[in-house]
Amino acid sequence: MQGMNAERLALGTILVAVLVLGLKLVAWWLTGSVALLSDALESLVNVGGAVMAWMAVHYAKRPADAGHPFGHYKAEYFSAVLEGIMIIIAALLILQQSVQALGNLSETVEWGRAGLLVNAVALVLNLLWARLLIARGGALKSPALTAGGRHLMSDVWTSVGVLLGLLLALATGWTVLDPLLALFVAVNILREGYGVVASSVNGLMDSAAPEEERDQIEELLHHAAAGALQVHGLKTRRAGVALFVECHMVVDGSMTVQASHTICDHIEEAIRSTFPEAQVTIHVEPEHKLEPSGIAPG
Ligand SMILES: [Zn+2]
Ligand SMILES: [Zn+2]
Protein backbone atom coordinates (compact mmCIF):
# COMPACT_ATOMS: atom_id res chain seq x y z
CA MET A 1 0.00 0.00 0.00
CA GLN A 2 2.92 2.33 0.61
CA GLY A 3 3.71 2.40 -3.11
CA MET A 4 0.25 3.44 -4.32
CA ASN A 5 0.16 6.22 -6.92
CA ALA A 6 -2.34 9.10 -6.98
CA GLU A 7 -4.82 7.35 -9.28
CA ARG A 8 -4.86 4.13 -7.24
CA LEU A 9 -5.27 6.14 -4.03
CA ALA A 10 -8.19 8.01 -5.61
CA LEU A 11 -9.82 4.66 -6.54
CA GLY A 12 -9.11 3.32 -3.05
CA THR A 13 -10.74 6.40 -1.56
CA ILE A 14 -13.96 5.64 -3.50
CA LEU A 15 -13.97 2.04 -2.22
CA VAL A 16 -13.35 3.11 1.38
CA ALA A 17 -16.05 5.81 1.16
CA VAL A 18 -18.63 3.33 -0.22
CA LEU A 19 -17.76 0.77 2.47
CA VAL A 20 -17.96 3.37 5.24
CA LEU A 21 -21.27 4.67 3.85
CA GLY A 22 -22.65 1.10 3.84
CA LEU A 23 -21.54 0.45 7.43
CA LYS A 24 -22.96 3.78 8.63
CA LEU A 25 -26.30 3.09 6.91
CA VAL A 26 -26.42 -0.31 8.67
CA ALA A 27 -25.67 1.47 11.98
CA TRP A 28 -28.55 3.88 11.32
CA TRP A 29 -30.87 1.01 10.33
CA LEU A 30 -29.98 -0.88 13.54
CA THR A 31 -30.66 2.16 15.77
CA GLY A 32 -32.98 4.60 14.01
CA SER A 33 -30.76 7.38 15.41
CA VAL A 34 -30.97 10.66 13.44
CA ALA A 35 -27.41 11.48 14.45
CA LEU A 36 -26.16 8.23 12.86
CA LEU A 37 -28.25 8.97 9.74
CA SER A 38 -26.57 12.35 9.43
CA ASP A 39 -23.18 10.73 9.96
CA ALA A 40 -24.05 8.35 7.09
CA LEU A 41 -25.12 11.23 4.83
CA GLU A 42 -21.79 12.91 5.54
CA SER A 43 -20.20 9.74 4.08
CA LEU A 44 -22.46 10.04 1.03
CA VAL A 45 -20.84 13.45 0.50
CA ASN A 46 -17.46 11.74 0.73
CA VAL A 47 -18.44 9.12 -1.89
CA GLY A 48 -19.36 11.96 -4.26
CA GLY A 49 -16.17 13.79 -3.42
CA ALA A 50 -14.07 10.65 -3.96
CA VAL A 51 -15.64 9.92 -7.38
CA MET A 52 -15.00 13.50 -8.44
CA ALA A 53 -11.45 13.51 -7.14
CA TRP A 54 -10.79 10.38 -9.19
CA MET A 55 -12.33 12.01 -12.28
CA ALA A 56 -10.14 15.05 -11.65
CA VAL A 57 -7.01 12.90 -11.50
CA HIS A 58 -8.11 10.93 -14.55
CA TYR A 59 -9.56 13.68 -16.76
CA ALA A 60 -7.94 16.94 -15.63
CA LYS A 61 -4.47 15.52 -16.24
CA ARG A 62 -5.15 14.69 -19.89
CA PRO A 63 -2.76 16.62 -22.09
CA ALA A 64 -4.07 19.64 -24.00
CA ASP A 65 -5.68 18.73 -27.35
CA ALA A 66 -7.03 20.64 -30.35
CA GLY A 67 -10.42 21.18 -28.71
CA HIS A 68 -8.96 22.19 -25.32
CA PRO A 69 -5.62 23.85 -26.08
CA PHE A 70 -5.20 25.12 -22.49
CA GLY A 71 -5.64 21.64 -21.03
CA HIS A 72 -8.49 20.04 -19.05
CA TYR A 73 -7.54 21.34 -15.61
CA LYS A 74 -10.85 23.03 -14.90
CA ALA A 75 -12.68 19.67 -14.99
CA GLU A 76 -12.09 19.40 -11.28
CA TYR A 77 -13.90 22.67 -10.55
CA PHE A 78 -17.07 21.46 -12.26
CA SER A 79 -16.95 18.31 -10.19
CA ALA A 80 -16.41 20.39 -7.06
CA VAL A 81 -19.47 22.54 -7.80
CA LEU A 82 -21.55 19.35 -8.17
CA GLU A 83 -20.12 18.09 -4.90
CA GLY A 84 -21.08 21.39 -3.26
CA ILE A 85 -24.69 20.91 -4.41
CA MET A 86 -24.73 17.37 -3.00
CA ILE A 87 -23.34 18.63 0.29
CA ILE A 88 -26.08 21.25 0.59
CA ILE A 89 -28.79 18.66 -0.18
CA ALA A 90 -27.36 16.33 2.48
CA ALA A 91 -27.24 19.11 5.09
CA LEU A 92 -30.82 20.18 4.34
CA LEU A 93 -32.00 16.56 4.64
CA ILE A 94 -30.37 16.30 8.05
CA LEU A 95 -31.83 19.62 9.23
CA GLN A 96 -35.31 18.46 8.21
CA GLN A 97 -34.83 15.07 9.92
CA SER A 98 -33.50 16.58 13.15
CA VAL A 99 -36.23 19.20 13.44
CA GLN A 100 -38.79 16.44 12.89
CA ALA A 101 -37.10 14.31 15.58
CA LEU A 102 -36.94 17.25 18.01
CA GLY A 103 -40.70 17.69 17.75
CA ASN A 104 -41.27 13.98 18.21
CA LEU A 105 -38.93 12.87 21.02
CA SER A 106 -39.32 9.31 22.29
CA GLU A 107 -39.48 8.65 26.03
CA THR A 108 -36.62 6.22 26.22
CA VAL A 109 -33.40 5.50 24.37
CA GLU A 110 -33.76 2.03 22.89
CA TRP A 111 -30.99 1.66 20.35
CA GLY A 112 -29.15 -1.58 20.02
CA ARG A 113 -25.51 -1.21 20.93
CA ALA A 114 -24.64 -3.22 17.80
CA GLY A 115 -25.42 -0.14 15.71
CA LEU A 116 -22.92 1.96 17.65
CA LEU A 117 -20.30 -0.77 17.22
CA VAL A 118 -20.84 -0.91 13.43
CA ASN A 119 -20.47 2.87 13.30
CA ALA A 120 -17.25 2.64 15.31
CA VAL A 121 -15.83 0.12 12.79
CA ALA A 122 -16.58 2.60 9.98
CA LEU A 123 -14.86 5.32 12.00
CA VAL A 124 -11.68 3.26 12.39
CA LEU A 125 -11.67 2.50 8.65
CA ASN A 126 -11.87 6.24 7.90
CA LEU A 127 -9.12 6.95 10.41
CA LEU A 128 -6.71 4.42 8.85
CA TRP A 129 -7.41 5.63 5.31
CA ALA A 130 -7.04 9.28 6.34
CA ARG A 131 -3.61 8.56 7.80
CA LEU A 132 -2.53 6.72 4.64
CA LEU A 133 -3.72 9.62 2.43
CA ILE A 134 -1.85 12.19 4.53
CA ALA A 135 1.35 10.11 4.46
CA ARG A 136 1.20 9.36 0.71
CA GLY A 137 0.10 12.93 -0.09
CA GLY A 138 3.26 14.15 1.60
CA ALA A 139 5.45 11.60 -0.19
CA LEU A 140 3.88 12.28 -3.62
CA LYS A 141 3.83 16.07 -3.00
CA SER A 142 0.11 16.06 -3.81
CA PRO A 143 -1.80 18.78 -1.94
CA ALA A 144 -5.07 17.24 -3.19
CA LEU A 145 -4.34 13.89 -1.50
CA THR A 146 -3.21 15.56 1.71
CA ALA A 147 -6.31 17.78 1.73
CA GLY A 148 -8.48 14.69 1.18
CA GLY A 149 -6.82 13.01 4.14
CA ARG A 150 -7.27 16.07 6.36
CA HIS A 151 -10.95 16.22 5.35
CA LEU A 152 -11.41 12.57 6.34
CA MET A 153 -9.68 13.28 9.66
CA SER A 154 -12.16 16.08 10.37
CA ASP A 155 -14.98 13.62 9.60
CA VAL A 156 -13.40 11.15 12.03
CA TRP A 157 -13.52 13.76 14.81
CA THR A 158 -17.16 14.58 14.01
CA SER A 159 -18.00 10.86 14.21
CA VAL A 160 -16.14 10.52 17.52
CA GLY A 161 -18.25 13.40 18.87
CA VAL A 162 -21.46 11.74 17.64
CA LEU A 163 -20.57 8.35 19.15
CA LEU A 164 -19.60 9.83 22.52
CA GLY A 165 -22.83 11.86 22.53
CA LEU A 166 -24.93 8.80 21.76
CA LEU A 167 -23.17 6.80 24.51
CA LEU A 168 -23.99 9.65 26.89
CA ALA A 169 -27.62 9.55 25.68
CA LEU A 170 -27.71 5.78 26.35
CA ALA A 171 -26.28 6.29 29.84
CA THR A 172 -28.52 9.20 30.81
CA GLY A 173 -31.67 8.62 28.75
CA TRP A 174 -31.49 12.15 27.31
CA THR A 175 -33.14 11.45 23.95
CA VAL A 176 -32.79 15.10 22.91
CA LEU A 177 -29.04 14.55 22.43
CA ASP A 178 -29.68 12.55 19.24
CA PRO A 179 -31.30 15.33 17.14
CA LEU A 180 -28.92 17.90 18.67
CA LEU A 181 -25.91 15.86 17.53
CA ALA A 182 -27.50 15.53 14.09
CA LEU A 183 -27.77 19.34 13.91
CA PHE A 184 -24.08 19.59 14.90
CA VAL A 185 -23.15 17.26 12.01
CA ALA A 186 -25.36 19.25 9.61
CA VAL A 187 -23.54 22.47 10.50
CA ASN A 188 -20.18 20.76 9.97
CA ILE A 189 -21.31 19.49 6.54
CA LEU A 190 -22.48 22.99 5.54
CA ARG A 191 -19.09 24.39 6.61
CA GLU A 192 -17.31 21.78 4.47
CA GLY A 193 -19.63 22.51 1.55
CA TYR A 194 -19.01 26.24 1.76
CA GLY A 195 -15.25 25.66 1.54
CA VAL A 196 -15.60 23.38 -1.50
CA VAL A 197 -17.94 25.73 -3.39
CA ALA A 198 -15.98 28.91 -2.55
CA SER A 199 -12.66 27.50 -3.76
CA SER A 200 -14.12 26.02 -6.96
CA VAL A 201 -16.01 29.20 -7.86
CA ASN A 202 -12.76 31.12 -7.41
CA GLY A 203 -11.08 28.69 -9.79
CA LEU A 204 -13.81 29.05 -12.43
CA MET A 205 -13.48 32.86 -12.16
CA ASP A 206 -9.76 32.67 -13.14
CA SER A 207 -8.52 33.87 -9.76
CA ALA A 208 -4.89 34.96 -9.54
CA ALA A 209 -2.26 32.71 -7.96
CA PRO A 210 -1.96 33.26 -4.19
CA GLU A 211 0.00 36.34 -3.15
CA GLU A 212 3.08 34.42 -1.95
CA GLU A 213 3.30 32.65 -5.34
CA ARG A 214 3.02 36.02 -7.16
CA ASP A 215 5.82 37.41 -4.99
CA GLN A 216 7.95 34.38 -5.83
CA ILE A 217 7.29 34.83 -9.56
CA GLU A 218 8.23 38.54 -9.38
CA GLU A 219 11.48 37.61 -7.67
CA LEU A 220 12.20 34.98 -10.36
CA LEU A 221 11.45 37.53 -13.14
CA HIS A 222 13.78 40.08 -11.49
CA HIS A 223 16.71 37.64 -11.76
CA ALA A 224 15.88 35.79 -14.99
CA ALA A 225 15.12 38.83 -17.17
CA ALA A 226 18.73 40.06 -17.07
CA GLY A 227 19.43 41.80 -20.41
CA ALA A 228 15.88 43.19 -20.72
CA LEU A 229 14.93 46.74 -19.64
CA GLN A 230 11.73 45.95 -17.75
CA VAL A 231 9.06 43.36 -17.12
CA HIS A 232 5.51 44.59 -16.53
CA GLY A 233 1.87 43.55 -16.89
CA LEU A 234 2.33 40.33 -14.91
CA LYS A 235 -0.88 38.28 -14.83
CA THR A 236 -1.27 34.90 -13.22
CA ARG A 237 -4.13 32.47 -12.96
CA ARG A 238 -4.58 29.07 -11.42
CA ALA A 239 -6.57 26.30 -13.13
CA GLY A 240 -6.45 23.24 -10.91
CA VAL A 241 -2.83 22.16 -10.74
CA ALA A 242 -1.89 24.32 -13.74
CA LEU A 243 -0.45 27.81 -13.37
CA PHE A 244 -0.67 30.31 -16.26
CA VAL A 245 1.79 33.23 -16.24
CA GLU A 246 1.68 36.15 -18.69
CA CYS A 247 3.88 39.26 -18.83
CA HIS A 248 5.33 41.93 -21.11
CA MET A 249 9.10 42.21 -21.48
CA VAL A 250 10.58 45.53 -22.69
CA VAL A 251 13.95 45.29 -24.51
CA ASP A 252 16.14 47.65 -26.51
CA GLY A 253 14.28 48.01 -29.82
CA SER A 254 17.42 47.11 -31.78
CA MET A 255 17.92 43.80 -29.96
CA THR A 256 17.73 40.81 -32.29
CA VAL A 257 14.82 38.40 -32.11
CA GLN A 258 17.40 35.73 -31.33
CA ALA A 259 18.70 37.61 -28.26
CA SER A 260 15.29 38.55 -26.86
CA HIS A 261 14.09 34.97 -27.36
CA THR A 262 17.04 33.74 -25.29
CA ILE A 263 15.91 35.98 -22.40
CA CYS A 264 12.36 34.61 -22.76
CA ASP A 265 13.77 31.07 -22.49
CA HIS A 266 15.66 32.03 -19.32
CA ILE A 267 12.45 33.41 -17.79
CA GLU A 268 10.46 30.28 -18.70
CA GLU A 269 13.14 27.99 -17.29
CA ALA A 270 13.37 30.02 -14.07
CA ILE A 271 9.60 29.95 -13.47
CA ARG A 272 9.37 26.24 -14.31
CA SER A 273 12.19 25.44 -11.92
CA THR A 274 9.93 26.58 -9.07
CA PHE A 275 6.51 25.88 -10.66
CA PRO A 276 6.92 22.82 -12.94
CA GLU A 277 3.25 23.03 -13.97
CA ALA A 278 3.53 26.67 -15.19
CA GLN A 279 2.67 27.72 -18.76
CA VAL A 280 4.46 30.99 -19.51
CA THR A 281 3.56 33.49 -22.27
CA ILE A 282 5.80 36.55 -22.80
CA HIS A 283 5.02 39.55 -25.06
CA VAL A 284 8.17 41.38 -26.17
CA GLU A 285 8.08 45.20 -26.52
CA PRO A 286 10.55 47.99 -27.56
CA GLU A 287 11.65 50.71 -25.10
CA HIS A 288 8.87 53.25 -25.83
CA LYS A 289 6.57 50.75 -24.10
CA LEU A 290 8.36 51.21 -20.75
CA GLU A 291 5.86 51.75 -17.93
CA PRO A 292 6.26 53.91 -14.79
CA SER A 293 6.11 50.84 -12.60
CA GLY A 294 7.50 47.45 -13.48
CA ILE A 295 10.04 44.87 -12.46
CA ALA A 296 13.59 46.03 -13.10
CA PRO A 297 15.83 43.10 -14.10
CA GLY A 298 19.13 42.65 -12.32
ZN1 LIG B 1 -16.84 14.97 4.86
ZN1 LIG C 1 3.38 46.33 -22.10
User: Residue 268: what residue type?
Assistant: E
Cα of 247 vs centre of ligand 2, distance in Å, is 8
Residues 6+ apart with CB under 8 A from 62: 71, 72
CATH superfamily of 211-289: Cation efflux protein, cytoplasmic domain (3.30.70.1350)
Quote the pLDDT of residue 259.
97
Other Cβ atoms closer than 10 A to 205: 9
Identify the pLDDT of residue 2. 46
Ligand 2 centroid – CA 164 distance (Å): 62
Q: Which amino acid is at 113?
A: R
Residue 144 alpha carbon to ligand 2 centre in Å: 36
Mean pLDDT (10-residue bins), the chain, 298 residues: 70 90 90 83 81 76 87 76 76 81 71 82 90 81 73 81 82 82 82 77 83 94 96 91 92 96 97 92 96 92
Cα 155 to averaged position of ligand 1 atoms, centre (Å): 5
At the topology level, CATH places domain 6-204 in Alpha-lytic protease prodomain-like (1.20.1510)
pLDDT at 3: 54
Neighbours of ion ligand 2 (CB under 5 A): 233, 248, 289
Domain boundaries, the chain: 6-204, 211-289
Q: 10 Å Cβ neighbour count for 52?
A: 23
* CA 175 – CA 136 distance, rounded (Å): 42
pLDDT at 1: 46
- Quote the ligand 1 centre to 261 CA distance (angstroms): 49
Task: Please tell me the number of the ligand nearest to residue 246's CA.
Answer: 2
256 phi/psi in degrees, rounded to 5: -75, 155
Instruction: Please report how many Cα atoms fall inside a 13 Å half-sphere around the Cα of residue 130, on the Cβ side.
Output: 18
